[in-house]
Amino acid sequence: MIRSSAVEMASALAKGEITSVALTQLHFDRIASVDTDVHAFLHLDTDGALAQAAAVDAKRAKGEKLSPLAGIPLALKDVLVQKGIPTTCGSKILEGWRPPYDSTVVTNLKNNDIIILGKTNMDEFAMGSSTENSAYGPTHNPWDLSRIPGGSGGGSAAALAAFEAPLAIGTDTGGSIRQPAAVTGTVGVKPTYGGVSRYGLVAFSSSLDQAGPCARTVLDTALLHEAIAGHDPRDSTSINAPVPNVVAAAKSGDVKGMKIGVVKELNGDGYQPGVRARFDESLELLAKAGAEIVEVSCPNFEYALAAYYLIAPSECSSNLARFDAMRYGLRVGDVDGASAEEVMNLTREVGFGREVKRRIILGTYALSSGYYDAYYGSAQKVRTLITQDFTSAFTKADVLVSPTCPTTAFKIGEKSNDPLAMYLNDIATIPVNMAGIGGMSLPSGVADEDGLPVGFQIMSPVMKDERMYLVGAALEAALLSKWGAPILSKAPSLGGLA
């Protein structure tokens, strides 16, 4: 059962073949058997989840009308607050903190009766591409435990790939949903910026952060997308418009006559041969399904990475100022006679990890007078150019596509001492965040040279998120009939029989 899709689980629940309590317990059993190796979770809310599941079972027994994902378990990235449940953002500075309120994403999950199993591991404050920057130790890729599961949402993606949960929530500032999805053989969507509320999402880079759905199939992802999306008056950047019809698109998968634009700049040199091979094969399958493949050029994308590593650190240096040891979280050095400033300095020294400090200092520099125009100001101009590239490309194509990342999962430790090499993982995912558009990654197979999963990225214009689901569903169906089984069936089974 735990290897089924959420849709299949929902159908079993509806038919009375299993209860939500039993389904939830099966997932806790699975977690108990494999998470010592995978380390996807930082915290499990066993009692809360089972109580929530019992309540859903009671509603169902009474014949109440339930949402499509009612009773299905989910893994929540530890950057979204849930009332009374520890929220660390992978940082020591928040160790033991229990937020006094629910994020809107959590409220929406609860309103849809989706069962929250626990909080998943991540790079500290979502800064990283490997989950190695978590203060609580790395998460391991279920495909090969010596490899990274991507980041920052490596815990959520690994939980899906290890069958610890059929649904998960991630957040994506520069690729933190899509790159983990790519390297674990799962599906992840970064919705249009403003499509899902950021209320209660601990901010890293406010103009780029976006929460989104993760799952093992395109339709499951769409159902979760619909459950969490929508206007929220508590987020001033929330878009006040109907949620794009992503579920209908995922069910249809009809790409006949659609124009799919291949971004010339997001391929070629620097992309692993197996990544390129799977990408080309996916294009052929989409062409066979009736789509027209065209090439588009986005010449300013080559500056996206540089602009991102100025904008995101600048915003982070400001956002993370709130961790000041005064109102919540860690406080160090509060001895008689110590000043507030000394306590802040010591707390932030002890509480923040290396990458977080690196980015705070970089952002402080980029925003300092005398350098502002040269760095942050120039990066903002590049952001304009990237958005213009997208606008122009979307006049030639309905969606744009590329490999999600240049390589398959690398070894834990391989890049941890080379920040620039690590940053390059996000080269194909960052432009989407800069322009605030939608992006999806779904599995396109495994690379011949290493047998590890490869991601296919689909990008859609602002609030046209349904287009990625159309293309994703078409490709998923074509690949499934080619492989005969979902890609995760090729992954090694962990912890004995599932």
Partner 1 sequence: MSSLSRDEVANLARLARIEMSEEELVNLASEFTVILEAVARVQEVASADVAPTSHPLPLRNVFRPDVTKPSLTPEEALSGAPASEEQRFRVPQILGEEA
> From the CB of 408, what's the least distance to partner 1, in Å?
24
User: Tokens 């053989």 label which residue?
Assistant: 185
State the Cα angle at 272 between 269 and 274, rounded to 5°: 135
Least distance (Å) between residue 149 CB and partner 1 = 25
Q: Are 160 and 214 in contact (CB under 8 A)?
A: yes
77 classed as catalytic: yes
CA–CA dist 130, 140 (Å, integer): 9
Query: Active site residue: 5, 20, 77, 190, which one?
Result: 77
Under rule CB under 8 A, residue 297 binds partner 1: no
* Residue 259 CA to its chain's centroid (Å): 26
Contact between 456 and partner 1 per CB under 8 A: no
Strands 167-171 and 211-215: antiparallel
Among 368, 391, 392, 489, the residue binding partner 1 under the rule CB under 8 A is: 368
Q: Does 300 bind partner 1 (CB under 8 A)?
A: yes
Residue pair 316/376 in contact (Cβ under 8 Å)? The answer is no
Q: Is 314 a residue of the active site?
A: no
Told to check if 400 binds partner 1 by CB under 8 A, we report: no
* Cβ 423 to partner 1 shortest distance, Å: 8
Contact 79, 19 (CB under 8 A): no
The window from 93-101, 153-161, 182-190, 447-455 that contacts partner 1 (CB under 8 A) reads 93-101
- Give yes or no for residue 4 binding partner 1 (CB under 8 A): no
- How far is CA 191 from each of CA 108, 123, 239, 356, 365, rounded to the nearest angstrom? 16, 21, 12, 25, 31
| DSSP assigned state of 23 | H
406 forms part of the interface with partner 1 (CB under 8 A)? no
* Per-residue three-class SS string for 157-171: HHHHHCCCCCEEEEE
Using CB under 8 A, which of 163, 199, 279, 309 touches partner 1? 309
357 binds partner 1 (CB under 8 A): yes
Answer for which of 9, 285, 379, 393 binds partner 1 (CB under 8 A) is 379
Nearest-approach distance from CB 228 to partner 1, in angstroms: 19
Q: Which residue has the tokens 């999962």?
A: 409
Q: Three-state secondary structure along 381-431?
A: HHHHHHHHHHHHHCCCCCEEEEECCCCCCCECCCCCCCHHHHHHHHCCCHH
Under rule CB under 8 A, which residues in 187-206 are in contact with partner 1? 193-194
- Residues in 411-430 at the binding interface with partner 1, rule: CB under 8 A: 419-420, 423
Q: Which stretch binds partner 1 (CB under 8 A): 12-20, 138-146, 250-258, 320-328?
A: 320-328
Among 365, 451, 464, 486, binds partner 1 (CB under 8 A): 365
161-181 in b/e burial notation, b at 16+ Cβ within 10 A?
bbbbbbbbbbbbbbbbbbbbb
Q: Which of 357, 328, 326, 360 is nearest to 343 (CA)?
A: 326
CB neighbourhood size of 497 (10 A): 5
CB of 344 to partner 1, least distance (A): 5
Residues 204-263 that bind partner 1 (CB under 8 A): 207, 233, 236-237, 239
- Considering beta carbons, is residue 236 or 395 the nearer one to partner 1? 236
Q: How many amino acids of this chain bind partner 1 (CB under 8 A)?
A: 73
Q: CB 84 → partner 1: shortest distance, Å?
A: 9
Return the number of the residue (68 or 436) whose C-beta is nearest partner 1: 436
Q: What is the CA 23 to chain-centroid distance, rounded?
A: 24
Q: Which 25-64 residues touch partner 1, going by CB under 8 A?
A: none
Residue 394 within binding range of partner 1, rule CB under 8 A: no
Q: How far is CA 417 from the centre of its chain?
A: 24
Q: Is 391 in the site for partner 1 (CB under 8 A)?
A: no
Q: Does residue 165 touch partner 1 according to CB under 8 A?
A: no
- Answer yes or no: are the C-beta atoms of 124 and 94 closer than 8 Å: no
Q: Which of 20, 129, 152, 156 is catalytic?
A: 152
Tell me which of 14, 287, 361, 480 binds partner 1, using CB under 8 A: 361
Please identify, using beta-carbon distances, which residue of 3 and 331 lies nearer to partner 1.
Answer: 331
CA 88/CA 24 separation, integer angstroms: 24
- Residues 188 and 215: their CA atoms lie apart, in Å, by 7
Is position 459 an interface residue for partner 1 (rule: CB under 8 A)? no
State yes or no: residue 377 binds partner 1 (CB under 8 A): yes
Stretch that binds partner 1, among 141-149, 327-335, 443-451, 485-493 (CB under 8 A): 327-335
Let me know: does 386 contact 304? Beta carbons within 8 Å.
yes
Q: CA nearest 122: which of 154, 99, 97?
A: 154
From 322, 381, 396, 482, residue interacting with partner 1 (rule: CB under 8 A): 381
Find the binding residues for partner 1 in span 330-349 (CB under 8 A).
330-331, 334, 336-346, 348-349
Catalytic one of 176, 402, 441, 460: 176
Chosen residue from 190, 383, 415, 467 binding partner 1 by CB under 8 A: 383
Q: Is 146 a catalytic residue?
A: no
Tell me the catalytic residues.
Answer: 77, 152, 176
